[in-house]
């Protein structure tokens, strides 16, 4: 095996200080998923331009896609780009929905500053056991760990679920106490992907379960909470995709207003993947439809990257409140 890459070597930080500041400042740190160079560039440029801390987030399958050996060097390059642009924003690299100790360890050994162990599909005791093994390995290396209690509907990397089970507030103190996690992902009505609710005509998107969130905050005062499945499924991008040959009928997400409310609470990290995918796809489809003779990847990935930069700036300044906190 190659020698381990400790994350400070890549210019990264863990999430501890980021979350303390977010809690004190009443905002949430964005965790944007990426798979390729253009997404990574857009996320970093968007966060540099809005002066926001950022969590660069990679699922197990995204890590395979980008190539595990190449990924740390992509991120080293992204940090160098941010510094070249004159920015000192804090940047973390986080494993999203890790499903085993081996995967979490492999990530920690190759420059990740934060990992999630998603044991939410296991029974409570097994979730605690698995998460604890990761916490022990991670904390010895000053890497922060996110755990999860409660199940979100939709696809969670290699795990999928038809229905959601809200987090049971009465379990959170024991889970955090026994595992030693640094943050906790909870289920309060969000879900992964672009189809978060099945709405009948005229029906409104239901509210997130802020009552459950409040109960959890009471039981874990000052403890960082994480919201997965938090894309808004931007109607403008869905409309563009549908207009230019796509088919995303009835795609719907979490209204920005509800995310703003969550960001003002103990929710310190908000995960966004689908909205970035939609922004890029909308622009690529538009270029293909308007310029059918175009075949230079820079001519369609460039506009897609520009749109993602705009989306990141918008989220940071108008939704999460993380702009000017970097």
User: Which positions touch Zn ion (CB under 5 A)?
Assistant: 228
Which of Zn ion, ligand G3H, ligand 13P, none interacts with 230 (beta carbon under 5 to 8 A by kind)?
Answer: ligand 13P
Instruction: Find the shortest distance in angstroms from Cβ 28 to ligand G3H.
Output: 17
Report how far apart, in Å, the C-alpha atoms of 235 and of each of 23, 40, 210, 287 are.
Answer: 30, 23, 24, 19
The one of ligand G3H, Zn ion, ligand 13P, none whose footprint includes residue 272, by CB under 5 to 8 A per kind, is: ligand 13P
Give, rounded to a whole angstrom, the gap between the first and last alpha carbons of the chain: 36
Q: Is 270 helix (H, G, I), strand (E, B) or coil?
A: strand
Spacing of C-alpha 216 from chain mean position: 21
Tell me how far, at minimum, the Cβ of 270 lies from Zn ion, in Å: 11
Q: Which is nearer to ligand G3H, 151 or 323 (CB)?
A: 151
> What residue ranges bind ligand 13P (CB under 6 A)?
33, 96-97, 192-193, 228-231, 271-275
Say which entry of ligand G3H, ligand 13P, Zn ion, none residue 63 contacts (CB below 5 to 8 A, set by partner kind): none
- Any alpha helices (H) in 85-187, and if so which ranges? 101-108, 124-139, 169-179
CA distance 287 to 289: 5
CA atoms lying within 13 Å on the CB side of residue 30: 36
In terms of phi and psi (left: phi > 0; alpha: psi -120 to 50; beta: otherwise), the region of 228 is beta
| Residue (157 or 214) nearer to ligand G3H, CB | 157
C-beta closer to ligand 13P: residue 196 or 285: 196
3-state SS, residue 158: coil
Positions in the binding site for ligand G3H (CB under 6 A): 33, 59, 61-62, 96-97, 156-157, 192, 273
Q: How far is the CB of 61 from ligand G3H (least distance, A)?
A: 4
**Residue 53 vs 154, nearer CB to Zn ion:** 154
Select 41 or 271, whichever has its Cβ closest to ligand 13P.
Answer: 271
Nearest Cα residue to 111 out of 1, 37, 12, 2: 12
Going by C-alpha positions, the residue among 140, 225, 143, 138 that lies closest to residue 185 is 225
Nearest CA to 32 among 182, 196, 228? 228
Task: Work out what residue 231 binds among Zn ion, ligand G3H, ligand 13P, none; the CB cut-off runs from 5 to 8 Å by kind.
Answer: ligand 13P
The DSSP 8-state label assigned to residue 324 in this structure reads: T
Q: How far is the CB of 9 from ligand 13P (least distance, A)?
A: 26
Beta carbon nearer to ligand 13P, 30 or 229: 229
Instruction: Reply yes or no on whether 96 is catalytic.
Output: yes
- Strand 144-149 vs strand 154-156: parallel, antiparallel, or unpaired? unpaired
14 binds, among ligand G3H, Zn ion, ligand 13P, none (CB under 5 to 8 A by kind): none
Active-site residue, selected from the candidate residues 84, 96, 109, 273? 96
Residue 301 in tokens: 């990935």
Query: Residue 179's binding partner, choosing from ligand G3H, ligand 13P, Zn ion, none, with beta-carbon cut-off 5 to 8 A by kind?
Result: none
Question: Which residue numbers are catalytic?
Answer: 96
């Amino acid at each position: 095996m190659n020698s381990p890459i400790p994350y400070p070597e890549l210019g990264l930080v863990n999430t501890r200080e980021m979350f303390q500041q977010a809690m004190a400042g009443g905002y949430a740190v964005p965790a944007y998923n990426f798979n390729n160079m253009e997404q990574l560039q857009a996320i970093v440029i968007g966060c540099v331009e809005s002066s926001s801390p950022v969590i660069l987030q990679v699922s197990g399958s995204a890590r395979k896609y980008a190539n595990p050996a190449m990924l740390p060097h992509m991120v080293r390059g992204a940090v160098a780009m941010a510094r070249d642009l004159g920015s000192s924003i804090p940047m973390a690299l986080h494993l999203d929905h890790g499903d085993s100790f081996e995967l979490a360890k492999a990530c920690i050994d190759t420059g990740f500053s934060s990992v999630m162990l998603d044991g939410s599909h296991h029974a409570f005791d097994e979730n605690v056991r698995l998460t604890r093994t990761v916490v022990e390995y991670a904390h010895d290396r000053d890497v922060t760990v996110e755990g999860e209690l409660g199940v979100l509907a939709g696809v969670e990397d290699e795990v999928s679920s038809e229905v959601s089970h809200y987090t049971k507030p009465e379990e959170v103190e024991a889970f955090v106490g026994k595992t030693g996690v640094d943050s906790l992902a909870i289920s309060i009505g969000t879900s992964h992907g672009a189809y978060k609710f099945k709405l009948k005509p005229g029906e409104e998107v239901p509210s997130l379960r802020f009552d459950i969130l409040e109960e959890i905050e009471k039981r874990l005062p000052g403890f960082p909470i994480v919201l997965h499945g938090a894309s808004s499924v931007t109607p403008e991008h869905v409309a563009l995709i549908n207009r230019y040959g796509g088919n995303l009928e009835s795609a719907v997400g979490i209204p920005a207003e509800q995310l703003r409310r969550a960001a003002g609470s103990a929710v310190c990290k908000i995960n966004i993947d689908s909205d970035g995918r939609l922004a890029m796809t909308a622009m690529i489809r538009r270029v293909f439809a308007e310029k059918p003779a175009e075949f230079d990847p820079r001519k369609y990935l460039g506009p897609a990257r520009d749109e993602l930069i705009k989306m990141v700036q918008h989220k940071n300044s108008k939704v999460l409140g993380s702009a000017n906190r970097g």
